[in-house]
Chain A
Amino acid sequence: MGRYVIRRLLQMIPVFFGATLLIFLMVNVMGDPIQGLCGQRQCDPATAARLRQEFGLDKPVWQQYLTYMGNVFTGDFGTAFNGQPVTELMADAFPVTLRLTLVAIFFEIVIGITLGVLTGLRRGRPVDTSVLLLTLVVISVPTFVTGLLLQFLLGVEWGIIKPAVSPAATLDELIVPGLVLASVSLAYVTRLTRTAIAENARADYVRTARAKGLPRRRIVTRHLLRNSLIPVVTFIGADIGALMGGAIVTERIFNIHGVGYQLYQGIVRQNTQTVVGFVTILVLIFLIANLLVDLLYAVLDPRIRYA
């Protein structure tokens, strides 16, 4: 087990360098960002040169990358064009997005798995058909449509929520955005759970458990669900990374100042340091989430062992 974890962690190193290098090059291809800072007029050459020097843009790309990586290992992620350290932007943005992701994952787990178990146990019944139909609708409607619709209905027409989340972004404000963010994945979780439950419900061990006279509740939670959750856990684990980086649309609709907002602004302003910094952290989160998922397999299914 320990060896396995160490091997996986070592594998992260090349992935980490490769990903950051790629992002660094991609943002660089977009060109010189300094002119964008001077509005509708030419930067005076002296100031432009000094700004380039300040942000290290006067050096060749490989040197910029090496300096940047060197700084990253000392905890310095550089400075955004408005003079704010990128670490400060991260300290503002990541907690917000983390809260949003947790709300979304919470909905995925609670609603998704509940509906999945419910429908899986009652295949072909009206409940099953209507939930299946509903998930189909949710999957086929783009997130921004769901988001704008809920925002308009709940925020403007009925006045239940504020259409925009305040800068503090407290948990209660994030419930509707979290639901919107979770919606598509939630539908997938429902379908995955349903299929797995339906399949395993006929498995030998379930029949044995039933023959032993175990209470139904115990059969479902301890035996059936535990074995059916493996594909679902894989999906949710991979989704954590996707939700954190992919919340740009939802964050924009509800004016949440999280990772998506900072990334968007970084890209529009061609701020290499912001974009690379945020993406680096996202890559790390993705890698770690994947590792945790793999470790969870062993917990859920004792037959799986890592050496």
Chain B
Amino acid sequence: MRRTPYLRWAAPLLALALAATGCGGGAGTTQGVVSASWGDPPNPLEPANTNDVQGGKVLDMIFRGLKRYDPRTGAAQDMLAERIETTDSTTFAITVKDGWTFSNGEKVTARSFVDAWNYGADVRNNQRNAYFFGYIQGYADVHPDTGEPKATTLSGLKITGERTFSVTLSQKFSTWPDTLGYAAFAPLPRAFFDDHAAWLEKPVGNGPYTVHSYARGSAMSLRTRDDYPGPDKARNSGVDLIVYTDNNTAYTSLLSGNLDLVDDVPAAQLKNVRKDLDGRYINTPAGIIQTLAFPYYDPAWNTPGGAKLRTGISRAIDREQITRTIFRSTRTPAKDWTSPVLGTDGGFSPTLCGDACVYDPAAARRLVDEGGGIPGGRMTISYNADTGSHKEWVDAVCNSVNNALGRDSACVGNPVGTFADFRNQITQSRMDGPFRAGWQMDYPLIQNFLQPLYYTNASSNDGKWSDPGFDRLVDRANAESDQPTAVRLFQQAEEVVRDQMAAIPLWYQNGSAGYSARVGNVALNPFSVPVYNEITVG
């Protein structure tokens, strides 16, 4: 008989290996701490430098600004602001509440705000969100389009006392105080300026959480601040944010009980998510609208009959069917150019688009023909293929258009490899057909859904659309101090967008999240960011 001595030592080794793996299993969660999925923020984590949801999550936990958007209604409410007063919609006198401190003990004063805003606006600091300070007087001096800045501080900001300062805008903007809930307007402690590198390693803010440890690119531990002076103290003892490269892995971790909260449920899992998670799944409207923009710099798309053509394309898209089948109702067909999170008082209107957003193949064919037909008989819809599974819906939209117009090749998708390249082609005006345009609001105001997107030469007016009538109405609305009148004027401007079909509204996006049985009271705010401080554990 032959002996096989080799297996003798191989077998125990394997057994050892498997035993060691067994040790790796089990609960990886700390008492009272929520573990949540996260993505690596692409930009440095500073208030005026963060323009993405992932970085926004952290800023929302470690900072509180003058205003805060109510997590449920989105309404701007005073947080650190005691009073913001104005008589002319141009100069605002701001009083900061007493008793607020940063987590390192430093008091939050008027200077904390003024220094932070001056830093954010200064072109030398390379802050991606600098344009948020563009309404403040003197912005052009600290942030000129070309050349070196002439000043280091905004002339419109003046400290008038320990807790008071005044802001002068370069134009009338009655709802400006409501924009102050955006993270870019957060106050900064002296530590930020004194030792910037150390601050970036471990940010210090004035919010309900402090950064306990931060391993860039992989995880951040936040712990509840015991001395937090605000009314929205965290109801858990901390949050561990863990970077997941793939949302499928995060979802699998949630299913196996190793993660408490996933705020990006993979599209492929949507049909099972309710069963998998036993109902621990939320799907709530967020301030995000997806549209198709057009290249108005291309003469073929800027014709006298263009409005009819675009309305025709809009009516050829079966939004109901696409949102139901592809997005499993995590998106809802758009009925205007804003978002339901604004509420009807805030300017949302479920009737504004009307027939122009209703699927009707016969009307679509007629309108496209009257509008001179699709330029060249064929159009492409461009999108970035690297994130967000855009291919599925672009193909579906094209299918819908092709079916409605009765031509197989009227519309095809045009994938662009990376988001950066896609944005490059857009900003260099190299699009030759409609392209994907998504908009996530910065603050819940109808102004934010219209002015940055459709005002002449606005920062996100990707199609370079321009209409003097629209611009005039927006200017008038901004100068109007009566809120309801301002909203009505913005809606009139929106009607111009509709009549010209400046961009085709597709659908409103919902935020979705799944959570473990360990945690409760999970909700998403209108920015589709989980309201971490209200989550309960156990």
Which of B131, B255, B462 is the one whose CB lies under 8 Å from A44? B131
Known contacts: A38-B51, A44-B143, A257-B218. The answer to whether A252 contacts B4 by CB under 8 A is no
Q: Is the CB of A163 within 8 A of B253?
A: yes
**Beta-carbon contact of A268 and B418 below 8 Å:** yes
Are B217 and A89 closer than 8 Å at their CB atoms?
A: yes
Closest chain B residue to A157, Cβ basis: B256
- Most A C-beta atoms less than 10 A away, residue of B25, B215, B420: B420
Of chain A, the residue at the smallest CB distance from B127 is: A47
Q: Scan A63-94; emit 1 where CB is below 8 A from any B CB, else 0.
A: 00000000000000000011110001100100
Chain B residues with CB under 8 Å of A110's CB are 10, 13
Q: With A46-B123, A82-B40, A251-B245 as given contacts, are A162 and B10 in contact (CB-CB < 8 Å)? A: no
Selected from B51, B253, B418, B460, the residue in CB contact (under 8 A) with A162 is B253
User: Which of A39, A83, A173, A261 has most chain B Cβ within 10 Å?
Assistant: A39
Interface residues of A in 35-52 (CB under 8 A from B): 35-47, 49-51
Distance between Cα atoms of A9 and B40 in the complex (Å):
38
Q: Produce 1/0 per residue, B225-245, CB < 8 A to A.
A: 000000000000000001111
- A41 to B7 CA separation, bound complex (whole angstroms): 63
Assess whether B43 is in contact with A172, with CB atoms less than 8 Å apart: no
Residues of A within 8 A of B170 (CB): none
A89-B217, A118-B7 are contacts. A83–B244 as well, Cβ < 8 Å? Answer: no
A164 CB-CB contact with B under 8 Å = yes
Minimal beta-carbon separation of A188 from chain B (angstroms) = 18
What is the bound-complex CA distance between A167 and B387, given in angstroms?
A: 23
Complex CA gap A133/B437 in Å reads 52
A114 and B523 CA atoms in complex are apart in Å by 54
Give the Cβ gap from A210 to chain B, nearest Cβ, in Å: 14
Contact across chains for B217 and A92 when beta carbons are under 8 A apart: yes
* B421 with A155: CB separation less than 8 A: no
Judged by a CB distance under 8 angstroms, whether B22 is at the interface is yes
CB of A190, distance to nearest CB on chain B (Å)? 13
Query: Is B21 touching A175 in the complex (CB atoms < 8 A)?
Result: yes
Residues of B within 8 A of A290 (CB): none
Hey, which chain A residues are within 8 Å of B143, CB to CB?
Answer: 44, 46-47
Q: Which residue of B lies closest to A41 (CB)?
A: B460
- Residues A30 and B246 in contact in the complex (CB < 8 Å), given A54-B126, A118-B6, A162-B258: no
Q: A50-B124, A268-B386 are in contact. Are A44 and B130 (CB under 8 A)?
A: yes
Q: Does B424 contact A (CB under 8 A)?
A: yes
Q: Are B420 and A32 in contact (CB under 8 A)?
A: yes
Interface range for B: 35 or more
> Is B193 part of the binding interface, using a Cβ–Cβ cutoff of 8 Å?
no
In the complex, A83 Cα to B45 Cα: how many Å?
9
Q: Are A164 and B249 in contact (CB under 8 A)?
A: yes
- Does A142 lie at the interface of the complex (its beta carbon under 8 Å from any beta carbon of B)? no
Once the chains bind, are B242 and A31 in contact (CB under 8 Å)? Answer: no
Contacts of A261 in B (CB 8 A): 245
* Nearest CB in chain B: distance from A1 CB, A: 33
Asked if residues A172 and B452 are in contact (CB atoms below 8 Å), the reply is no
Interface string of B241-269 (1 = CB under 8 A from A): 01111100110110111110000000000
A238 to chain B, nearest CB (A): 24
Interface string of A200-231 (1 = CB under 8 A from B): 00000000000000000100000000000000
Whole-angstrom CA separation of A261 from B5 in the bound complex: 41
State whether B256 touches A51 (Cβ < 8 A). Answer: no
Query: Which residue of B7, B386, B427, B460 is within 8 Å of A35 (Cβ)?
Result: B427
Q: Which residues of A contact B145 (CB under 8 A)?
A: 44-46
- Chain B CB count within 10 A is highest, among A32, A34, A83, A152, for A83
Residues of chain B contacted by A45 (CB below 8 angstroms):
145-146
Instruction: Give every chain B residue within 8 A of A159 (Cβ-Cβ).
Output: 25, 256-257
Q: Is the CB of B418 within 8 A of A161?
A: no
Determine whether B23 belongs to the interface, using a CB cutoff of 8 Å to chain A. yes
User: Of residues 226 to 282 in A, which have CB atoms within 8 Å of B's CB atoms?
Assistant: 251-255, 257, 261-262, 264-265, 267-270
**How far, in angstroms, from A40 to B435 measured CA to CA in the complex?**
12
B243 lies within 8 A of A257 (CB): yes
Q: Are A164 and B126 in contact (CB under 8 A)?
A: no
Say how far A40's CB is from chain B's closest CB, in angstroms: 6
Cβ-based interface call for A26 (8 A): no
Check if A31 sits within 8 Å of B252, measured CB to CB: no
Is A180 in the interface zone, CB < 8 Å from B? no
Complex alpha-carbon distance, A117 and B7, angstroms: 10
B420 nearest CB neighbor, chain A only: A36
Q: Digit string of B384-427 for contact with A (CB within 8 Å is 1, else 0)?
A: 00110000000000000000000000000000011111011011
The answer to whether the Cβ of B354 comes within 8 Å of any Cβ in the partner chain is no
Complex-state Cα separation, A304 to B200, whole angstroms: 56
Interface residues of B in 8-28 (CB under 8 A from A): 10, 13-14, 17-18, 20-26, 28
Q: Is A176 an interface residue (CB 8 A)?
A: yes
A162 near B28 with CB under 8 A, answer yes
**How near does chain B come to A211, taking the closest CB pair, in angstroms?**
19
| A267 to chain B: closest residue by CB | B418
Judging by beta carbons under 8 Å apart, are B7 and A83 in contact? no
Query: Which A residues, 1 to 50, have Cβ-Cβ distances below 8 Å to chain B?
Result: 30-47, 49-50
Q: Is the CB of B452 within 8 A of A167?
A: no
Asked if B42 is an interface residue, CB under 8 A from chain A, the answer is yes
Nearest CB on B from A88, distance (A)? 8
- B156 at interface (Cβ–Cβ under 8 A)? no
Measured between beta carbons, the chain B residues less than 8 angstroms from A130 are none
Q: Does A151 contact B (CB under 8 A)?
A: yes
Partner of B421, one of A172, A252, A270: A270
Q: Which residue of B lies closest to A261 (CB)?
A: B245
Interface mask (B445-468 → A, CB under 8 Å = 1, otherwise 0): 000000010000001101000000
Residue among B20, B249, B452 with max Cβ neighbours from chain A (10 Å)? B249
**Chain A hits for B459, CB < 8 A:** 41-42, 44
Q: Which residues of A contact B387 (CB under 8 A)?
A: 268
Residue of A nearest to B218 (CB): A167
B252 A156 Cβ-Cβ under 8 A: yes
Q: List 21 A-B contacts (CB under 8 A).
A: A31-B420, A35-B423, A36-B42, A36-B423, A37-B128, A40-B439, A41-B452, A45-B145, A82-B216, A83-B200, A111-B10, A162-B25, A163-B256, A167-B218, A170-B24, A252-B246, A255-B245, A255-B246, A255-B253, A269-B420, A270-B420
Closest 8 A/B residue pairs (Cβ):
A36-B420, A35-B423, A167-B218, A41-B460, A83-B44, A163-B252, A172-B20, A156-B256
15 A-B pairs besides A50-B123, A172-B20, A268-B419 with CB distance below 8 A are A37-B43, A37-B420, A41-B459, A42-B459, A50-B124, A82-B44, A84-B217, A92-B218, A152-B252, A156-B252, A161-B22, A164-B253, A170-B24, A172-B24, A255-B244
* B-binding residues in A (CB < 8 A): 30-47, 49-51, 54, 81-84, 88-89, 92, 110-111, 114, 117-118, 151-152, 154-156, 159-164, 166-167, 170-173, 175-176, 217, 251-255, 257, 261-262, 264-265, 267-270
